[in-house]
């Protein structure tokens, strides 16, 4: 058996005041990397996601699977931050921690008596991550942030869906998750800078910023090219053929992403690679609707299994569309450490989606044992005992 090892952030303590998904996802990423993450929750109810379901699991259906998705590798302490005891305990946490995460609406933490100035008076080395919905300042800086609203306001839904008349959200709360990822990235950068300066930084990001930050080629398509992106269903707007097509008994996806692949693809399925309408990618995109029809007609002669085999044989990137049951049973997913086992005090042994990073010392992979998402207030006594230590 491989022994669990401390992670790259071993020795870093994080006080996590966040709830819902964006902040908790950032905290979970830091916990995955070995940081000690102390999750501060409201007494009685805890994190909002503890009540987000169904599905709920456990003997009395008391545990939301949503909560389980974003809180592994943490401890939980309950504090009433409006009370003297809550404020005193938070002050002690700030003094002994390296990082503070918060996603309150702008001004809430200030009203509780914890402005950034006050926090850095308590601990000048503390790195502070603040996640908001639309930014902490600007004409709409005080707006509450919810994932689907941010997906719409940040343009993502206008580019997603079967057609321009059907704006569609992404199937996961991508604005929240991206904010958590960008936030964790900012925290690690600030911790590195602190090694030089001795001082903690304030990092700010938002759901709006995180979605705009991943517009990628669609962003410059507009800012430079003045070509307004719209939803085009399961096809690429700038590469063809690239997308979802019908086989005899199902669907497959292909990516003809270069001229050399186009040559192999055309030869395999009887297309004239030199046809002026399809001679290069620009021509193929301009004639994409006619080309899609030809590809679907050619693919209709094959079963999905035979079609994928042929595409792989000639070197055309391809794949099927899996549901999540298929994904989590896929041996490739499991080989990458993307499913982890944890022993939960109520649910017993359960599987959770695992972290996407793997670390190596030369050829030896770093391994850690993951902790189950904590029960509400599970670590009240142990955290308070640690805070009272000299």
Prior bond of 73 cis (ω within 30°): no
The sign of the dihedral angle between the CA atoms of 273, 278, 282, 288 is: negative
| List 16, 32, 47, 176, catalytic entry | 176
What does each C-alpha distance from 31 to 122, 222, 243, 370 come to in angstroms?
A: 24, 38, 37, 9
Active site residue 176: yes
Buried b (16+ CB within 10 A) or exposed e, 291-307: bbeebeebbeebebeeb
Q: What would the two tokens of residue 67 be?
A: 């909560």
Helices (H), the chain: 22-32, 65-68, 84-96, 108-111, 116-122, 147-153, 174-197, 207-212, 217-223, 259-269, 281-286, 288-299, 304-314, 324-329, 331-335, 380-388
Prior bond of 337 cis (ω within 30°): no
Contact in structure between 17 and 102 (CB atoms under 8 Å):
yes
DSSP result, 300-313: TTS-HHHHHHHHHH
Report how far residue 230's alpha carbon sits from residue 198's, in angstroms, rounded to the nearest whole number: 47
Torsion angles phi and psi, residue 75, rounded to 5 = -110, 155
Q: What would the two tokens of residue 318 be?
A: 């391809």
Report how far residue 169's alpha carbon sits from residue 157's, in angstroms, rounded to the nearest whole number: 5
Report the 10 Å Cβ neighbour count for 36.
20
Report how far residue 287's alpha carbon sits from residue 291's, in angstroms, rounded to the nearest whole number: 6
Which residues are known catalytic residues?
Answer: 176
């Amino acid at each position: 058996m491989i022994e669990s090892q401390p992670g790259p952030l071993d020795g870093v303590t994080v006080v996590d005041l966040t709830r819902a998904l964006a902040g908790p996802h950032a905290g979970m990423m830091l916990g995955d990397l070995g940081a000690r993450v102390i999750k501060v929750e409201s007494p009685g109810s805890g994190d909002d996601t503890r009540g987000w379901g169904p599905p709920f699991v456990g003997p009395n259906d008391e545990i939301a699977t949503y909560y389980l998705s974003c809180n592994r590798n943490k401890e939980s302490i309950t504090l009433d931050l409006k009370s003297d005891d809550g404020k005193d305990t938070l002050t002690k946490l700030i003094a002994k921690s390296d990082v503070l995460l918060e996603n309150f609406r702008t001004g809430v933490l200030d009203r509780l008596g914890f402005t950034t100035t006050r926090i850095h008076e308590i601990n000048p080395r503390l790195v502070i991550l603040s996640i908001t919905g639309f930014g902490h300042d600007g004409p709409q800086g005080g707006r509450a942030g919810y994932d689907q609203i941010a997906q719409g306001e940040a343009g993502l839904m206008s580019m997603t869906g079967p057609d321009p008349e059907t704006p569609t959200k992404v199937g996961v709360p991508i604005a929240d998750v991206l904010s958590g990822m960008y936030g964790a990235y900012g925290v690690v950068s600030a911790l590195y800078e602190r090694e030089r300066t001795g001082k903690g930084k304030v990092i700010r990001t938002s759901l709006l910023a995180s979605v705009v930050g991943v517009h990628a080629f669609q962003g410059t398509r507009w800012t430079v090219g003045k070509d307004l992106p719209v939803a085009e269903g399961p096809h690429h707007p700038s590469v063809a053929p690239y997308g979802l097509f019908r086989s005899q008994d199902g669907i497959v996806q292909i990516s003809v992403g270069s001229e050399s692949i186009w040559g192999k693809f055309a030869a395999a399925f009887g297309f004239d690679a030199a046809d002026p309408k399809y001679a290069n990618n620009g021509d193929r995109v301009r004639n994409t609707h006619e080309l899609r029809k030809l590809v679907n007609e050619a693919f209709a002669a094959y079963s999905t299994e035979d079609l994928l085999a042929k595409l792989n044989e000639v070197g055309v990137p391809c794949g099927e569309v899996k549901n999540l049951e298929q994904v989590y049973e896929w041996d490739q997913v499991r080989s990458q450490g993307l499913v982890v086992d944890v022993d939960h005090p109520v649910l017993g042994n359960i599987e959770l989606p695992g972290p996407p990073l793997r670390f190596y010392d030369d050829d030896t992979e770093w391994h850690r044992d993951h902790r189950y998402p904590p029960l509400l207030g599970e670590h009240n006594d142990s955290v308070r005992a640690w805070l009272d230590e000299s």
